[in-house]
Structures are given as C-alpha cells and as structure tokens.
Chain A
Amino acid sequence: MKIARLSVKFLVVLTVLFSLNSAFAQEHAVAASNDEGPVNTNQEINDYIQHHIKDSHDFHLYSYTDAAGERHHVGFPLPVILWASNGPVAFMSSAFHHDVNGEVVVEAGGSRFVNLHDKIYELENGADELVMGADGHHPENASKPLDFSISKSVFGILIIGLLMLFWFSSLARQYKKKNIPTGFGRVLEPLVIYVRDEIAKPNIGDKYRKFTGYLLTVFFFIWISNLLGLTPFGFNITGQIAVTAALAIFTLIIYTFSGTKDYWMHMLWMPGVPVLIRPVLAIIELAGAFLIKPFSLLVRLFANISAGHIVVMSLIAIMITLKGELTPFGSTTLSFILSLFITLIEVLVAFLQAYIFTMLSALFIGMAVADHVHDEHLHDAQGHDIEDTEASRREFI
C-alpha cells in the first residue's frame, strides 16, 4: 500500500513538473512561418510521424493555433549539452524556439548552433546561416558536435531508471520486515520470479545467479520504456537505434567476457569436424557471435517498436486521410477502432519484445558459459542446442 501511495506521489510530482513547465513553455508563441499549423496533408502526416519517431531536444506535448493565427507549442525545454570545437557548451533547447529547420542560430560558448531535424549542427566560422549541400539533406558549412543533451529519450531513460530504482529498492526493503511483500511489491515480485525462473534459469543453467541482475534490469528497462512509448507523452526510447545498440552491446560484452574455454574452442577451432572446415566454421562462428547476434538483438527491438509507433500513428491519421471518403464521423470511428485494436497488440508487443531481448540475451550468455563434455553424443546435443537458437531467432524475426 505504502509503495503504491509513494508511486502515486511520485507520478503526481512528475505531472506537476510537466504542467509547470508547460505553463512556462506556453509563453512561447512562434510566428507560423514554416510551421503550417494543424497537420492535414499526407506529406505533413508523414513528416509528423518521422519527427515523432526520432529523438527530440525538447519535450513537446501538443501544439495549437490560437484565434490570432499564432502557433503555440506546449511542452518544456530540455538542456542541450554539446562538446563543440570550443569545448563543452550547454543551453536550454528553448533557445531554438522549437525550430527544427536550421533557421534559428544560437550562439553559445563562442560557437553558433542550429537545429536541423533534431540534430544540432555547429556552423563553421564566419557562417551566418545553414547552407544545404547538393543532395538537400546534408549541410555544407556545418559539422555535428558530440551531443550529450538530455534529449527526450535521455529524459525518459532517467525517469525509467529512477522509477526502477524506487520500485525495486522499496521491494527489497520490504523483505527486511516481512516474507511476503504487500501492495505494489506484490505485483513486482512475480515478475522478478518470472524473469529468474522462466528466462535466466532455463537458458543459463546453474550459473544463472551472476547474470540475473543484468537480465532483470534489461527486462524491466525495455518493458517500461516500451510501455512508456504507448502513453501520450510520446517517448520513443526503445525505438532509438542508439539505445538498442547500447543494450545489445552490453549483452555482447557480457557473453564475450564470461565465455568459457570450451566456448572459445568451439568458436575458433571446432572439435569433431574435418580440419579444413574448421577455419570456415571459425569465421562463421565469429561473425555470428560478434555481428549477427548483437545486430539481430538491436534491430529486432528497434524495428518492432518503431514499426509499432508508425502503425499506431498511421491508424490515428486515418481520421484525417479518409475524412473525404468516410465523412469525419466515419473516419474517426474507423480510426478509433483500428488504433484501439493495434494499441492492444502493441501492449502485448511491449512485453513480448522485452521478453525476447532478455530471453535471447540469456540464451547467448548460457551458450557462452555452458560446460561441454567432450563426447560424441554430447556434441550432437550441442549442435542441437545451436539449432534451437537459430529456430527461435527465426521465429522472432
């Protein structure tokens, strides 16, 4: 009960923060020069979805046009932290006035920055405005500084991290006083046991304990970020390829450094096959361990979540795109039914992708730490194990 109350309090504080910032942000009104107001055409919908899928430097909730024809953006700014040519620079994203077309130039720390499609570019010395290259996508007279901003995704990651720390450390504290947790802990406990008993133990075996902490962290991190992505706040954390890449590389590092002698021998000099085939197998195994496995992990999660977001938003957009054919009432009804349905599926996918990522991580770790006995029969078993992995991977792709 206490945990639940505290969580509620935490969320209330968050909401208040949001609304305070929104009130603050609401002050900013931008003359609608490049921002055409409401999203109406297919092109605008496409752009809107593309924009949403990407990371953003400010926390944008919604926009509206007031009676005077002025465009208002409601949200709050986030800090922009850059490592530019003149050293570290920090300023609030509100300095760009919601511009993502590279038109507003911000001067900070002796350098000039523009925001082009949510990428910050540093203008070369003497340049006053961004000049696009011949292809129309890459700027000619600007470079990308290292961007350590607390972007929307980083902000989301921090919230999730704090939430997880808060929830699970309170669960841990509960065990000091009683054997069976109460309140929200009673919801969390079976999930922890589920990850331990259904993911860690069966895939890793006896050495599961050492890796369960990582697997639990990754499972809950991915699941909560997936679920957060389905809220109207519009986070798209696990749909950022950089985030999924970092997760996949963590798994890669863990199974590479915990690999047993047997694992490396099976990878580099496979016993039980003709000597001539061994180098070929070694190449395949190395590629599998260092490229295919992490790549499949990062792309699966990224693609599933991005696709989910695109589908949900496209179905919501039916409201606008089919307005002519179906009348506003018809298109709204159709859009509502379809997006409700797909959102339910996305809730399932949110769990499923967290489960798959964690399960495959556990499987890869399990393959690396397994003890093989050198015996013809057990070699078959080993080969069979690998086949199983491939089969399950194919299923998930």
Chain B
Amino acid sequence: MGACNGWLQDLSLKIAARYACNGQLNKQKYDQNMDQLLNDFSIGLFIMQTVILLVLIFLIVKFAWKPILNSLNEREEGIENALEEAEKARLEMKNLQADNEKALQEARAERDTMIKEAREIRAKMIAEAEEDAKAQANKIIKQAQEAIEAEKRTAVAELKSQVAELSLEIAEKVVKDELSDKKKQMQYVDKMLQDATLN
C-alpha cells in the first residue's frame, strides 16, 4: 500500500514538474493562440458557409420540412379527431345505455304498478264479494227470522184458538158434570157470590 502511494506520488510530482516546465511555453502559446483565433476567421469560409446554408435552408424547407411538418400536423389532427370521435361514440353509447336502463326501469315500475293494481282490485273484489255475501246472508236470515216469526205467530194463534176450543169443551164437560147435582150448583153459586162481593 505504502509503496503504491509512493509510486503514485512520484508520478504526480513528475507530471506536475513537466507541466510547470512547460508553463512559460504555454503562456507564449496562449498569446499566440489568441492572435491566431482572430487570424483564423476566414472570410472565404464564412461566405461559403453562408451561401451553402442559405441554399440548404431553401432546399430542405421546400423538399423536406414543409411536407414533413404538414404530414405530421395532418396526422396529429387525424389522431385528435379520431380520439374525439371515439369519445363521442363512448358518450353516445353511454347515453344509449342510460336510455335502455331508463326504459327497463320504467317497464319494471309499470309492471310493479300493474301488479299492485291487480292486487288491489283482487282485494277489493274479495272485500266486495264478502260484503255482498254478508248482506245477502243477513237478508236471508232476516227473511227467515221474519218467516219464523210469522209462522210462530200463526202457530201461537192456532194454538190459542185450539186451546180455547179445547178449554171450552172441557169447561162444558166439567160444567155439565158439576151442575147435574143441585147441592153442588148451590155451593158454586155461593162461592161465586162470595168472590163477587170480595171484588
């Protein structure tokens, strides 16, 4: 390691010494170079470069840059238009989908209302039928009751008349029987009289 460092140091010192020796020469060279720099400006080369560059610009603009830039612009516009159209198509598609969705929604809603209405109608019909049936039943029951009442009344009346007839017959028979004996007739008259006075 140390040996290596020593070797490097030695080398760098040598190089530095070499360039220091050349310092004076370099300074001279520098002045000379600055002089040369101005001297080196070649008017002929300048004119040649100007002329060639002018011709080159003229030709290359006409035959290359103009068509190239035009085509590039056209292509870029084409791409832009295509993108715009794609975007438009996408939007349209979206709208279409939205429309479809809406129609579907509407159809669904309509179906729901229809079902609901049908249900309502059914419920109503059932309710009405029940009502009707009830009313009918009540009416029938009422009529039946009325008929029963009337039957009952006629039956009761008949029964009454039959009971009256029967009781008259019985009474006749009893009276016939009772009043065959004089003593008993008297007793009954007395009793009757007694009752009458009590009233």
> Chain A: residues with CB nearer than 8 A to chain B?
42-43, 46, 50, 54-55, 119, 137, 146-151, 153-154, 157-158, 161, 164-165, 168-169, 171-173, 175-176, 179, 189, 192-193, 196, 209, 212-214, 216-217, 221, 240-243, 245-247, 249-250, 321-322, 325-326
B61 touches A (CB below 8 Å): yes
Report if B177 contacts A (CB, 8 A).
Answer: no
Which of chain B's residues 100-158 have a Cβ closer than 8 Å to chain A?
A: none
B89: chain A residues at CB < 8 Å are none
Are B56 and A165 closer than 8 Å at their CB atoms?
yes
Compute how far the CA of A148 lies from the CA of B49 in the bound complex, rounded to whole angstroms.
10
B59-90 residues with Cβ-Cβ distance < 8 A to A are 59-61, 63-69, 71-72, 75, 78
- Minimum CB distance partner of B10 in chain A: A325
* Interface flag for B195 (CB, 8 Å): no
| With A137-B35, A147-B42, A196-B69: A157-B49 Cβ-Cβ less than 8 Å | yes
Does B29 reach chain A (CB closer than 8 Å)? yes
Partner of A146, one of B15, B44, B69: B44
Q: Establish whether residues B44 and A171, one from each chain, have CB atoms under 8 Å apart when the complex forms.
A: no
**CB closest chain-B residue, reference A322:** B15
Report whether A46 and B11 are in contact in the complex, using a CB–CB cutoff of 8 Å. no
Choose one: A153, A165, A325; the contact of B45 (CB below 8 Å): A153
- Chain B residues whose C-beta falls within 8 Å of the C-beta of A146 in the assembled complex: 43-44, 47
Please name all residues of chain A whose beta carbon is closer than 8 Å to the beta carbon of B72 when the two chains form the complex.
189, 192-193, 196
- Proximity bits, B28-61, A CB within 8 Å = 1, else 0: 0100110111011111111111101101110111
Shortest CB distance A202–B (Å): 16
| Cβ 8 A contact of B68, one of A147, A157, A175, A242 | A175
Number of interface residues of B (CB under 8 A): 43
A161→B41 contact, CB < 8 A: no
Tell me whether A245 and B65 are in contact (CB under 8 A): no
A212 x B65 contact (CB < 8 A): yes
Contact B40 A213 (CB under 8 A): no
Nearest B residue to A147, CB-CB: B44
Select which of A46, A217, A240 is within 8 A of B57 by beta carbon.
A217
Question: CB-CB < 8 A to B52: which residues of A?
Answer: 154, 157-158, 161
Known interface pairs A148-B48, A164-B56, A246-B50. Does A171 touch B64 (Cβ–Cβ under 8 Å)?
yes
Contact A213–B37 (Cβ < 8 Å): no
A211 CB to closest chain B CB (Å) equals 11
User: From A302, which residue of chain B is reached at the shortest CB distance?
Assistant: B37
Contact A246 B32, beta carbon cutoff 8 Å: no
Set of chain A residues within 8 Å of B71, measured between Cβ atoms? 172, 175, 179
B48 contacts A168, C-beta separation under 8 Å? no
Supposing A161-B56, A326-B11 touch, asked if A172 and B68 sit within 8 A by C-beta, the answer is yes
Residues of chain B with a CB closer than 8 A to A50's CB:
33, 36
- With known contacts A137-B35, A243-B49, A250-B53, A55–B42 Cβ distance under 8 A: yes
Distance between B80 CB and nearest chain A CB, rounded to angstroms: 14
One of A154, A213, A241, A326 near B65 (C-beta < 8 A): A213
Whether the pair A245, B15 counts as a contact (CB closer than 8 A) is no
- Report the bound CA distance from A395 to B60 in whole Å: 32
Q: How distant is the Cα of A209 from the Cα of B61 in the complex, in angstroms?
A: 12
The reply to whether B65 and A217 form a contact with Cβ atoms under 8 Å apart is yes
Closest 6 CB pairs of A and B: A168-B64, A175-B71, A147-B44, A242-B46, A172-B67, A213-B61
Residues of B close to A247: CB separation below 8 A: 49, 53
When C-beta atoms are compared, the residue in chain B nearest to A237 turns out to be B49
CB distance from B85 to the nearest CB of A (A): 17
Once the chains are docked, how many angstroms separate the CA of A326 from the CA of B10? Answer: 11
Query: CB-CB < 8 A to A241: which residues of B?
Result: 37, 40-41
Q: Which residues of B contact A192 (CB under 8 A)?
A: 68-69, 72
> In whole angstroms, what is the CA distance A92 to B90 when docked?
71
* CB pair A246 B53 closer than 8 Å: yes
Instruction: Check B95 for interface membership: any CB of A closer than 8 A.
Output: no
Given known A-B contacts A151-B45, A241-B41, A322-B15, A213 and B60 have beta carbons under 8 A apart: yes
Asked whether B63 lies within 8 Å of A172 as measured between CB atoms, the reply is yes
A241 to B42, CA, bound (A): 8
The answer to whether residues A213 and B29 also contact, given A55-B42, A161-B52, A242-B42 and a CB cut-off of 8 A, is no
| Complex CA–CA separation, A42 to B44 (angstroms) | 32
Q: Which residues of B contact A164 (CB under 8 A)?
A: 56, 60, 64
A148→B44 contact, CB < 8 A: yes
CA distance A119 to B29 in the complex (A): 19
Report if B22 contacts A (CB, 8 A). Answer: yes
Interface centre among B35, B55, B71 (most CB of A within 10 A): B71
Check A54–B64 contact: CB distance below 8 A.
no
A196 to B73, CA, bound (A): 11
Least CB distance from A204 to B in Å reads 14
Contact: B41 with A246, CB < 8 Å? no
Contacts of B14 in A (CB 8 A): 325
Which of A42, A165, A196, A322 is within 8 Å of B63, CB to CB? A165
CB pair A137 B66 closer than 8 Å:
no
Contact status A217-B68, CB under 8 Å: no
Pair A154/B48 contact, Cβ less than 8 Å: yes
- Asked whether, in the complex, the Cβ of A149 is within 8 Å of the Cβ of B65, the reply is no
A54-B40, A146-B43, A154-B48 given; A209·B60 CB < 8 A: no
CB distance from B170 to the nearest CB of A (A): 137
Assembly CA distance A91 to B135 (angstroms): 139
Q: A246 to B60, alpha carbons, bound, how many Å?
A: 18
